[in-house]
Amino acid sequence: MEIEDQLSDVVTQPMADQFPIRAKKYKSPWQLIKELDKNQRLTFAAAFLGWSLDAFDYFIVSMTAASIAKDFGVEVSDVTSAITFTLMLRPVGALIFGALADRFGRKWPLMVDILLYSAIELASGFAPNLTTFVVLRAFFGVAMGGEWGLGSSLAMESLPAEARGLFSGILQQGYATGYLLAALFNYAIVTGIGASWRVVFYVASFPAVLIIFIRAFVPESDTFERTKAFREREGRTYWDEVKKVFKNYYGRIIYAIILMAFFNFMSHGSQDLYPAFLQKQMHYSSADVTITAVIYNIGAILGGTIVGYYSEHWGRRRAIVVCAILGGCFIALWAFGPNMDSLRLGAFVLQFFVQGAWGVIPAHLNELSPPEFRGTFPGLCYQIGNLISSASAQIEAVLGEKFPVVDSNQNLVFDSKEKPIPNYALTQAIFMAIAFFGVIVMTLMGKEHKGKDFTDHLESAEKEAEIFESVIEEYNIKDVQGVESENEY
């Protein structure tokens, strides 16, 4: 495929056709849920729980960082380096487990992935020192990077096309659900009964039980089974298809990575530094910060679910662009609200739209994915984009410290320790405005394939094979008849 073909594969269609026409008739969320069969419900439940519990295990570190630092006799910043290594290794996991999923199926790699991150979580609770803990969390990053791509491809391939939007939104908010679970567990175990941080990690290894559920009740993806059969029938190897994908779809891969980078800048830029902003600049107590986090994560869950559902009727890109525009309208209230209630309202609404846009992504990336590469493409693009954006909080923090808060007379404002107060509000607001703009531009530049039939390429190939076989069979019959006629003569 030439460069021009690659550009036409990525760049959007004419403005008049940019967004699909809204469906005239559509089903309610409850109706879509009721129409799922048993296997579809169990498969989606496994994908959602896998992602939620993966996020739960990830957030446990940030929740218990102070306790871990005290136990190991180090600074909190030393402990949070484990989070950096987790983020850095996630693309590696997406590549490894995605390749396994495209070659051997979605189900078994998902089970191995869940077992791996559960075992590492348990081992983290027994870490004797910081070095061991950081190494374990780096390996956890490999496991975490693999889960999202496996779960999203398994779920999206099992669901009816008309239900993808709703369940895409629900699936993506497993991340916010994991955060809420981590906050509740930490509050109950460490803050509530005063137990060691290690107990939280012991308890957090329970996702391993999910493997039994998947093994017993979740079927393999029918799309993968048909793809595997087609590959064997055509005499192709998995590596033949990998070469074909990178040759024919490299433009789409690059586009999706850049899109995901801006999406991750949007989510990390609005979440990672916000608790520090509330504590250092707004002087919230730990309890107030936790309550605020719960409020805006509820907004995230609602936004992802609602916008994901309506993306089925508005179109994927229209839903994303509208969320980015409306989210930008609430930056001021989110960052500069005059009191606690206004900041909480701003955080709730902004996360509603940030995660509303994110709710479209599992369906959107799976629909954009080359059919032979669906186990790898969504997760790999997502995690590389996440790696690119991993310094979001650090960028905001450094700029906030470089441009501290000043009063009306342009004099520096100091905290109780006589240190200038970082202006996190201003740097976060500017950062988020840029992130929203980037999401809008990249979304408008791309295409969408809403409602794409994931087996369409197989059906076309199977029909061609049937026609070819019938022609060969007809030719053979005529050939045999011709031979018989000659013999009779």
Amino acid (1-letter code) at residue 279: Q
Cβ distance 383 to 259 under 8 Å? no
Q: Tell me the CATH number of domain 38-161+169-235, given options 3.30.300.30, 1.10.390.10, 1.20.1250.20, 1.10.3720.10.
A: 1.20.1250.20
Question: What pLDDT sits at residue 319?
Answer: 97
Cα torsion 320, 363, 208, 180 to 10°: value is 20
**Along the 489 residues of the chain, how does pLDDT read in single tens digits?**
444 455 556 555 544 445 554 545 678 889 999 999 988 998 898 889 888 888 888 888 887 887 888 899 988 778 878 888 888 899 999 999 999 998 888 888 988 888 898 899 999 999 999 999 999 999 999 998 998 888 898 889 899 989 999 999 999 999 899 888 888 888 888 777 888 889 989 988 877 777 777 877 888 888 888 888 877 777 777 777 778 888 888 899 999 999 999 999 999 899 888 888 888 888 888 788 888 989 999 999 999 999 999 999 999 999 999 999 999 999 999 999 999 999 999 999 999 999 999 999 999 999 999 887 888 899 999 999 999 988 887 788 888 888 887 766 677 777 667 678 888 899 999 999 999 999 999 999 999 998 888 776 655 555 555 555 565 666 565 555 555 555 555
Distance CA 269, CA 428 (A): 7
Give the pTM: 0.84
235: exposed, middle or buried (C-beta count within 10 Å: 0-12, 13-18, 19+)? exposed
| Per-residue pLDDT at 221 | 82
Residue corresponding to tokens 């800048």? 265
Per-residue pLDDT, 16: 44
Q: Is 336 exposed, middle or buried (0-12, 13-18, 19+ CB in 10 A)?
A: middle
First to last CA, the chain: 54
Greatest alpha-carbon span in the chain: 114
Handedness of CA 99, 104, 105, 106 (dihedral sign): negative
C-alpha separations of 363 from 56, 105, 161, 449, 458 in Å: 23, 19, 9, 9, 20
Structure tokens at 43: 């498969």
Which superfamily does CATH assign the domain made up of 249-407+420-449 to?
Answer: MFS general substrate transporter like domains (1.20.1250.20)
| Interatomic CA distance for residues 163 and 277, integer angstroms | 39
Q: Which among 165, 178, 154 is positioned nearest to 104, based on CA atoms?
A: 154
Q: Which residues partner with 406 through β-bridges? A: 412
Task: Name the residue with tokens 């496994």.
Answer: 46
Q: Cβ neighbours of residue 426 under 8 Å, at least 6 residues apart?
A: 335, 400, 403
Q: Which two tokens stand for residue 440?
A: 């809008």
* The residue to which tokens 């567990």 are assigned: 185
Residue 15: DSSP 8-state = G
The enclosing H or E element of 484 equals helix 456-488
Residues paired with 414 in a beta bridge: 420
Nearest to 113 by CA among 134, 82, 92, 135: 92
Residues 167 and 360: their CA atoms lie apart, in Å, by 9
Structure tokens at 321: 């662009």
Q: CB under 8 Å to 415, separation ≥6 — which residues?
A: 280, 421
For residue 61, the model assigns a pLDDT of 85
DSSP conformational letter for 190: I
pLDDT number for residue 465: 52
Return the closest-CA partner of residue 378 out of 318, 449, 484: 449
Phi-psi map region of 105: left, alpha, beta (phi>0 left; psi -120 to 50 alpha): left
Range(s) within the chain of domains with CATH label 1.20.1250.20 = 38-161+169-235, 249-407+420-449
What is the Cβ-side half-sphere exposure of residue 226, based on CA atoms within 13 angstroms? 15
Element (H, E) at 139: helix 130-158
The alpha carbon of 52 is separated from its chain's Cα centroid by a whole number of angstroms, namely: 11
